[in-house]
Structure formats: C-alpha cells, structure tokens
Amino acid sequence: MQKRKIGHTGVEVPVVMLGGNVFDWTVDEADSFRLLDAAFDAGLSFIDTADVYSKWIPGHVGGESETVLGKWFARSGKRDKVFIATKVGMDMGDGRQGLAPKYIAEAVEASLRRLQTDRIDLYQSHKDDDKTPLVDTLSAFDRLIEQGKVRFIGASNYAGARLREALETSKRNNLASYQTLQPHYNLVERENYETDLAPVVADYGLGVIPYFALAGGFLTGKYRSDADVKGKPRGGMAGKYLNARGFAVLEALDAVAREYKSTPASVALAWLIAQPGITAPIASATSEKQLGDLVAAAELKLDRAAIERLSAASAPVSA
C-alpha cells in the first residue's frame, strides 16, 4: 500500500486513514473488531478517532470509539503497529471542552485510559478555542510531548488565519508545532479548504488528513434521491448535495469509475489523494465491501484527464 510522510514528522503512513467514528455507533463492538482486523491485514494501520465519539447517541457519554479501539489493541496486540490519532476540545458535557491547559491534561489521561496505551501518536485540537491563548494551548501540548504521552500534534477546524497564528506562536516560543491539519474537504466541499487553508498548508508543509472525505456517503453514489437519504444516520448530510452540481459530480465519478473498473467511492478518495499537500483522506467503513473501496483507493492512481474531469465537475460555484 502507498505511504506518505506526515508533515515534518518523518513518519510514513498509509495514504488512506480509517475513520473510527463508526465504532460503537453504526457498527457494534464485535463488528468493529472484525473490521479492524481486516483493515490492519489490508495495510490500513492509520486510524483516527476522538474523545467525543459518539456522544451524540442517546445513552452515550463520549469515549465509546476510543474504548472499542483500546479493547481491540488489548485483544490483538497490534498497538505498536498502528498510528493512532485522537482529538480533544469538543463539548463532552459538564463543562469539559476547549483547549485550556488544565483540561487538556485531564482529557489526555482519559483518552490514554480508554485507548489502553501509554502514548497517542497524533493528538489534535478538535476545534479552535478562542477563549484560551494559543501559547497556553501549545505549551500544554508541548509538555505532553516532553512527557512522552503524545508524539505529534495536529489541528482540526481552524480558520486559515488562526492556523497561521498558531504555527507562528510555536515558532516564536520554541514550542511543539502542529504537524497536520484535519479539514472538511472532498469533491463537493472544496472552496473553504482551497481558498483559506491550502495556502497555509503549503507555506508550512503540513500534512493534510481531510475528514468527511466521502461527504457522508454521498460520493459513494448510494444517495441519489430524497428517498435514498430518508431515515439514514447520515442522510441529512448527504441530502444537501442532491442538486445539479452534486449530480454532475456523481456523473463524473460514475464515468471515471467505469473507465478504471473501480467504484465511485474509490475514485473520490483517489482524487483527494492526488491533490497537493494531501497525506491521507479519512474514511470509515461499516462493511467489508466498504473497506475494500478504501483499500482500492490507496492503490488507484488517476491520470491527469480523470483528475481534471472530476475537478471540472466539482468546481465551486463561485469559481
């Protein structure tokens, strides 16, 4: 499987990252273990989760995904062969949120316990916290790296200006610096990343691991009408793309998939992998078939004509 270095870390990771948000949400624990075994055997050893997954489910409190992963590490003995990324900062209830140093110190211990590990490979700010000075947040992360509890840090859901400010803050104060960015970026969500974030990524050499790489399943081609999205866990997200531009993207995906004897999902991920600065798109799987699409995407190399066809069909409306 293709690999790329992530940011300036020198660490090589697979070019597709397995999303862990589905574990103990749309996939139960037993099926999560089965999918994790299959993913690892296929070379998908780069996994993303967050402390807040899956707090949005009635009866859940957050940490469910990390807990499943921790049990799988204990069961499989594969912790040292997996690059695990998790996140901190989203609302966990009872005032537990943000990027203040005291909270980060508490949250990392909770994640370490749930993951049943002594270190997190990539610890990410899940969103910006404008109530906490950047120097305080980055100092807290720096201490975790010194303590060996975290190897590298990354950012998610930052605006370009704040991301640049954070990177300059690290430089001025000789603190650990964000090595990765996790933005919302895919064939139907391009404008914000390409106009606001990509210039910062290029200037600082960050690794980029886009989330919602398949637009909530829309780019798999399984949602093509209102009836398809009704009552589905992610139907609301996919449904907003049921418009002329979305259908044009699906048409281009179908055509390229036929040409390459592939699937729309694999082609959509391969387009992302081919974009400048992208390390690995994040995509989850709830079945072996979906997992196969992720593995296939990691080996699929689109030619320039195919990339340009997809880019033209998905060009932002304001472009």
DSSP per residue, 225-244 = SHHHHTT-TTHHHHHTT-SH
The Cα angle at residue 89 between residues 239 and 133, in degrees rounded to 5: 125
The rounded mean pLDDT for the chain is: 95
CATH of 3-215+266-300, one of 3.40.50.150, 2.60.40.680, 3.20.20.100, 3.60.15.10: 3.20.20.100
Phi first, then psi: give them for residue 225, nearest 5 degrees: -155, 165
pLDDT at 226: 79
Distance CA 298, CA 270 (A): 7
Q: Does the annotation count 260 as an active-site position? A: no
Choose among 73, 64, 78: nearest CA to 110.
64
Mean pLDDT, rounded, for 282-297: 96
12-14 and 17-19 as β-strands: parallel, antiparallel, unpaired? unpaired
Instruction: Tell me, yes or no, if the pTM score tops 0.75.
Output: yes
Position 23 pLDDT exceeds 60: yes
Mean pLDDT, rounded, for 294-306: 97
Q: For 3, what's the count of Cα atoms within 13 Å in the CB-facing half-sphere? A: 10
| Percentage of the chain lying above the pLDDT 90 cut | 92
Given the residues 53, 185, 211, 223, select the one marked as catalytic.
Answer: 53
The Cα angle at residue 184 between residues 54 and 212, in degrees rounded to 5: 55
